[in-house]
């Protein structure tokens, strides 16, 4: 919803021909072998979404969209009258559950991940057997490369073992650099340092459909505990951390050498535009992107 950005970041032009970040993501995903896109949107932006994105993209790749509605919660739960905020990214995935019958990626529509993330995730899926269950991937980026000079950001800080398997994902809400050191704050102003080379989860995940019941189970548990908290959200990284600690899933860390780009603040747009222009000059992307 772009509360810090001040607008709907997902439809903000960044390319020379008014391409959006999601255009570059879909372009990379198609080249890597993905053949379907499912958009999760708010019902009130449907008209703008179709005009700016969907009517173009569906001509390039199989595409559909679903609504993430605040009112769609499991039976037995009553939504508080003062609730206005969406339930978070786990709820967004569950909104698309009927469209997710094959291995799939989850990404943010306002983040640029680079092509390598899609290529490596596609390779991981190709090497899975039909009997492999509850085996997923996360594409990590060094946390130092995912900050904004304009203010704090939220990041899932990953703990990784010697086999590149994720053991923990700790969601940190106020990550920044202070006096040359990287860290985060909790309640108050105490500053806790983070290793600059730690892997950050920036919402690029690879799942098979068997994750859906697991996420639904965790979402129900979240609602039982937090439904009365007006701004509570259940994020994918938090759900995955719960599932990792319980031993129900495994998650491999894939690394990408590509540049991660994201919108958090209005000033970030110029950085995104400059990097995409540089990659276009190098021939990584054509201009216009879709020809």
| Adjacent-strand bridge partners of 200 | 141, 157
Q: For 273-291, what is the mean pLDDT? A: 95
Q: For 107-123, what is the mean pLDDT? A: 96
Residues near 186 by beta carbon (within 8 Å), at least 6 away in sequence: 174, 192
CA–CA separation, 163 and 254 (whole Å):
11
* Domain extents in the chain: 9-281
Q: For 183-199, what is the mean pLDDT? A: 88
Does the CA dihedral 129-211-161-257 come out positive or negative? positive
What phi and psi values does residue 194 have, to the nearest 5 degrees?
Answer: -125, 140
Q: What is the pLDDT of residue 7?
A: 53
Is the preceding omega at residue 110 within 30 degrees of 0, hence cis?
Answer: no
Contact assessment for residue 150 and residue 138, using Cβ atoms and an 8 Å cutoff: no
Residue 43 burial (CB count, 10 A): 10
Q: Please check the confidence at residue 265 and state whether its pLDDT lies above 90.
A: no
Contact assessment for residue 182 and residue 175, using Cβ atoms and an 8 Å cutoff: yes
The tokens for 136 are: 């997923």
Q: What is the pLDDT of residue 186?
A: 82
Distance of CA 232 to the CA centre of its chain: 18
Contact assessment for residue 281 and residue 10, using Cβ atoms and an 8 Å cutoff: no
Confidence of residue 5 (pLDDT cuts 50, 70, 90): very low
Q: Please check the confidence at residue 267 and state whether its pLDDT lies above 90.
A: no
Report the chain's mean pLDDT, rounded to a whole number.
92
Least Cα distance to 121 among 230, 25, 264, 47 occurs for 25
Structure confidence by residue, pLDDT tens digits, 35-70: 999 999 999 989 989 999 999 999 999 999 999 999
Tell me which residue has tokens 């890597």: 32
DSSP 3-state of 66: strand
Q: For 253-257, what is the mean pLDDT? A: 93
Distance of CA 126 to the CA centre of its chain: 22
Instruction: Look up residue 51 and give its DSSP letter.
Output: I
Structure confidence by residue, pLDDT tens digits, 69-103: 999 999 999 999 999 888 999 999 999 999 999 99
CA–CA separation, 203 and 107 (whole Å):
5
Residues near 287 by beta carbon (within 8 Å), at least 6 away in sequence: 15, 16, 17, 280
Residues in the chain: 291
Q: What homologous superfamily does CATH list for 9-281?
A: Spore Coat Polysaccharide Biosynthesis Protein SpsA; Chain A (3.90.550.10)
Structure confidence by residue, pLDDT tens digits, 131-141: 899 999 999 99
Q: What is the pLDDT of residue 8?
A: 64
Q: Which long-range contacts (CB under 8 A, 24 or more apart) does 44-49 make?
A: 45/8, 48/8, 48/11, 49/11
Q: For 208-216, what is the mean pLDDT? A: 98
CA–CA separation, 107 and 78 (whole Å):
29
DSSP 3-state of 152: coil
Confidence of residue 274 (pLDDT cuts 50, 70, 90): very high
pLDDT > 90 in the chain, percent: 76
CA–CA separation, 71 and 69 (whole Å):
5
Confidence of residue 258 (pLDDT cuts 50, 70, 90): very high
């Amino acid at each position: 919803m772009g509360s810090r950005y001040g607008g709907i970041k997902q439809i903000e032009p960044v390319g020379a021909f008014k391409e959006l970040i999601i255009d570059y993501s879909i372009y990379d995903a198609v080249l890597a072998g993905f053949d379907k896109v499912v958009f999760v949107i708010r019902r009130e932006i449907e008209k703008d979404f179709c005009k700016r994105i969907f009517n173009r993209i569906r001509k390039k790749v199989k595409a559909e969209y679903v609504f993430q509605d605040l009112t769609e919660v499991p039976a037995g739960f009553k939504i508080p009258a003062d609730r206005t905020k969406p339930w978070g990214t786990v709820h967004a995935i569950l909104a698309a559950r009927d469209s997710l019958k094959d291995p799939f990626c989850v990404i943010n529509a306002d983040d640029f991940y680079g092509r390598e993330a899609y290529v490596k995730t596609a390779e991981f899926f190709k090497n899975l057997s039909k009997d492999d269950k509850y085996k997923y991937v996360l594409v990590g980026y060094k946390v130092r490369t995912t900050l904004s000079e304009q203010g704090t950001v939220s990041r899932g800080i990953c703990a990784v073992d010697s086999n590149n398997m994720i053991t923990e994902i700790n969601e940190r809400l106020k990550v920044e650099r202070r006096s040359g050191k990287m860290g985060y704050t909790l309640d108050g102003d105490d500053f806790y340092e983070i290793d600059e080379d730690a892997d950050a989860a920036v919402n690029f995940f690879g799942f098979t459909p068997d994750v859906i019941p697991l996420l639904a189970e965790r979402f129900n548990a979240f609602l039982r505990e937090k439904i009365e908290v007006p701004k509570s959200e259940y994020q994918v990284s938090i759900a995955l951390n719960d599932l990792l600690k319980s031993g129900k899933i495994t998650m491999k860390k894939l690394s990408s050498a590509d540049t991660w780009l994201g919108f958090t603040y209005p000033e970030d747009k110029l950085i995104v535009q400059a990097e995409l222009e540089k990659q276009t000059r190098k021939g990584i992307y054509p201009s216009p992107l879709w020809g």
